[in-house]
Amino acid sequence: MPISLRLDPEIEARLAHLSRATGRSKTFYLRKLIAEHLDDLEDAYLAEHALEQLRQGGIAS
């Protein structure tokens, strides 16, 4: 599934530099970043949601 996103110029420059320096594509590094950090983001946001549910008197599961 193709996805388009805009990066800050500084991040784009860092990504481009890494890509050139290693010979790997920017897509390779973006996929790796997403795969390695998605679990952390899910944990953080789902925990925040569960805490909010508890504060509102609901049951978190």
Which tens digit of pLDDT belongs to each residue from 8-55? 999 999 999 999 999 999 999 999 999 999 999 999 989 988 888 888
Provide the domain count of the chain: 1
Amino acid at 19: S
- 61 within some domain: no
Confidence at residue 13, expressed as pLDDT on a 0 to 100 scale: 98
- 60 within some domain: no
Confidence at residue 59, expressed as pLDDT on a 0 to 100 scale: 66
Tokens of 47: 């925990």
Confidence at residue 53, expressed as pLDDT on a 0 to 100 scale: 87
- 2 within some domain: no
- 28 within some domain: yes
Domain residue limits at 19: 9-55
Report the candidate in 13, 9, 11, 33 with the shortest Cα–Cα distance to residue 21. Answer: 13
- 22 within some domain: yes
- 44 within some domain: yes
CA distance 53 to 61: 10
- 33 within some domain: yes
Report the candidate in 18, 46, 40, 41 with the shortest Cα–Cα distance to residue 30. Answer: 18
- 40 within some domain: yes
Global pTM reads: 0.67
| Confidence class for position 61, pLDDT limits 50, 70, 90 | low
- CB under 8 Å to 4, separation ≥6 — which residues? none
